[in-house]
Structure formats: C-alpha cells, structure tokens
Amino acid sequence: MENKTENTIEHTSLLVIIVFLAFFLAKIYDKIDWSWWWIFSPLWIPLALIIIVLLITLILKIWIELT
C-alpha cells in the first residue's frame, strides 16, 4: 500500500514540475504573455490547497472539541 502512495506522490510531483517547466519555457520564449504569478502557479496552487485543507481540518477539530 505504501508503494502505491509513493508512486502517486512521485507522479504528481513530476507532473507539477513538467507543467511548470512548460509554462516557464513558453514565457521565456515569448509564446505566452502571462503574469509570472501564473507561470509559478503549478508550484504554489497545490501548496495553497494543502494549507487550506489543513486549516479547515484544524478548525473543525477545535470546533468539535469545544462542543
């Protein structure tokens, strides 16, 4: 079971890196005229989603303990 999880994480990380590099190279070679925020979005959007899920989980856990 652990091996399947590790493979999923590796594939997801590889996909994020490939998408980022594609955006980065397209920006460098003037194929797209996007903001740098969107070029780096494959790196920060997953991190932001993880932080949001962790915060929601923490808030719900505290709320359940108080009720």
The pTM score is: 0.75
Per-residue pLDDT tens listing for the chain (67 residues)? 557 777 888 888 999 999 999 999 999 999 999 999 999 999 999 999 999 999 999 999 999 999 8
Report the alpha-carbon distance of residue 19 to residue 11 in Å, rounded. 12
Q: Are 38 and 20 in contact (CB under 8 A)?
A: no
What's the confidence (pLDDT) of residue 2? Answer: 59
